[in-house]
């Protein structure tokens, strides 16, 4: 009996140490794995490294942050599951990748909802935006912060300007039902695909086009296998930094405080560099002479907006009319 109790105790202790990894002595730092899918020289890649630097400075010898870029540890398909299993402690997926956990967050995917990245950031800071950070707690996920990348643009392997030109083309999308409907509304077909597979998908012609920010297009070399990038500014690519709620809530108070402070500072840093990294990448793409970068006229933009109207009607119930209205109000601000 005693033996049974002892082994049960050992098993529980082992579970606590291996699952949550912070029961070690003062000499053994808590290892915090942070995994993401983009390159290091991007707004998210650089902010992840900044978080590591700040956290280790604030908690010397107490934490070790290991950053894994470019889907090296987990790609899109696995990272949320891995977080819930505590195989990784922090991830920062794009807002389009939480589709399975909450419908409300799809508000960020509605086409042409935000007039620019500032409007999206303003909504994120609002009461409704902040509430979305907490909207997945019942699924075991806590949002610590929003991080920015920037506005997205369409690219394809042909010359195009308006929806009529992309009719019948196949586009890679993130795992978002709103995007699936969006692509249908412009006459294309959509294929959900992990970020790490997009370059090859474009190169081999499995898909004809994709939509992303300049920083992702440049760092993944999509411009080398695409003909035209049209500056549609049709949606925001931002991120939610999320942690496993059980892991986070069981951290010692000083560790939680240090990590929260490091996150707040890394978030400020991320917000400062987002626009700059995208501007730099745009210039590098133009200078490369590979894909042609074209601006869109007001009349062409009106064609895009007209085409996507049914997407709003389709998702209004899932997302909530009030939430959509609240998000839209930030684009009306001067």
Task: Catalog residues that contact ligand LMR under the rule CB under 6 A.
Answer: 37-38, 44, 94, 149, 174, 195, 212, 216, 237
Q: Which is nearer to ligand LMR, 142 or 237 (CB)?
A: 237
Neighbouring CB atoms inside 10 A of 203's CB total 15
Q: Which is nearer to ligand LMR, 94 or 181 (CB)?
A: 94
Q: How far is the CB of 92 from ligand LMR (least distance, A)?
A: 8
SS3 state at 269: helix
Q: Which is nearer to ligand LMR, 39 or 326 (CB)?
A: 39
Query: How many angstroms separate the CA atoms of 121 and 201, rounded?
Result: 31
* Residue 260 CB partners (closer than 8 Å, separation 6+): 144
SS3 state at 233: strand
Q: Which residue is nearest to ligand LMR (CB)?
A: 94
Whether the CB-CB separation of 149 and 216 falls below 8 Å is answered with yes
Q: Which is nearer to ligand LMR, 149 or 156 (CB)?
A: 149
Q: Which is nearer to ligand LMR, 94 or 278 (CB)?
A: 94
Q: Which is nearer to ligand LMR, 39 or 294 (CB)?
A: 39
Q: How far is the CB of 222 from ligand LMR (least distance, A)?
A: 10
DSSP readout, 160-174? -SSGGGGTT-EEEE-
Copy the structure tokens of residue 247: 């892991």
Q: How far is the CB of 204 from ligand LMR (least distance, A)?
A: 18
Orientation of helix 177-185 relative to helix 298-319, angle to 10° = 140
Whether the CB-CB separation of 219 and 42 falls below 8 Å is answered with yes
SS3 state at 88: coil
Neighbouring CB atoms inside 10 A of 153's CB total 23
Q: How far is the CB of 44 from ligand LMR (least distance, A)?
A: 6
Spell out the alpha helix ranges (H) of 95-241.
Answer: 117-125, 127-133, 177-185, 198-203, 214-219
Q: Which is nearer to ligand LMR, 22 or 146 (CB)?
A: 146
Q: How far is the CB of 193 from ligand LMR (least distance, A)?
A: 8
Q: Which is nearer to ligand LMR, 169 or 173 (CB)?
A: 173
What one-character DSSP code corresponds to residue 76? Answer: T
Query: How many angstroms separate the CA atoms of 59 and 42, rounded?
Result: 26
């Amino acid at each position: 009996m005693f033996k049974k109790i002892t082994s049960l105790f050992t098993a529980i202790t082992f579970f606590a140490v291996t699952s949550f990894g912070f029961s070690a002595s003062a000499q053994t730092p808590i290892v915090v794995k942070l995994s993401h899918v983009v390159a290091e020289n991007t707004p998210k890649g650089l902010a992840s490294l900044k978080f590591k630097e700040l956290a280790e400075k604030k908690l010397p010898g107490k934490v070790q942050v290991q950053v894994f870029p470019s889907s090296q540890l987990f790609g899109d398909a696995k990272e949320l599951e891995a977080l819930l299993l505590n195989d990784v402690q922090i991830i920062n997926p794009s807002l389009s990748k939480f589709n399975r956990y909450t419908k409300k967050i799809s508000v960020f995917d509605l086409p042409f909802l935000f007039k620019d990245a500032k409007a999206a950031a303003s909504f994120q800071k609002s009461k409704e935006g902040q509430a979305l950070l907490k909207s997945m707690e019942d699924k075991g996920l806590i949002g610590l912060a929003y991080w920015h990348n920037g506005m997205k643009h369409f690219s394809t392997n042909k010359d195009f300007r308006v929806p009529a030109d992309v009719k019948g083309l196949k586009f890679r999308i993130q795992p978002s039902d709103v995007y699936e409907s969006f692509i249908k509304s412009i006459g294309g077909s959509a294929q959900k695909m992990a970020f790490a597979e997009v370059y090859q998908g474009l190169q081999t012609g499995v898909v004809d086009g994709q939509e992303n920010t300049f920083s992702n297009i440049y760092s993944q070399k999509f411009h080398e296998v695409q003909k035209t990038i049209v500056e549609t500014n049709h949606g925001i690519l931002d991120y939610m930094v999320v942690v496993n709620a059980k892991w986070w809530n069981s951290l010692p108070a000083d560790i939680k405080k240090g990590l929260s402070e490091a996150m707040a500072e890394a978030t400020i840093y991320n917000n400062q560099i987002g626009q700059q990294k995208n501007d730099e990448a745009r210039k590098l793409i133009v200078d490369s002479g590979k894909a042609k970068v074209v601006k869109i006229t007001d009349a062409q933009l009106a064609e895009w907006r007209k085409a996507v109207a049914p997407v709003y009607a389709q998702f209004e119930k899932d997302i909530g009319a009030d939430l959509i209205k609240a998000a839209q109000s930030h684009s009306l601000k001067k």
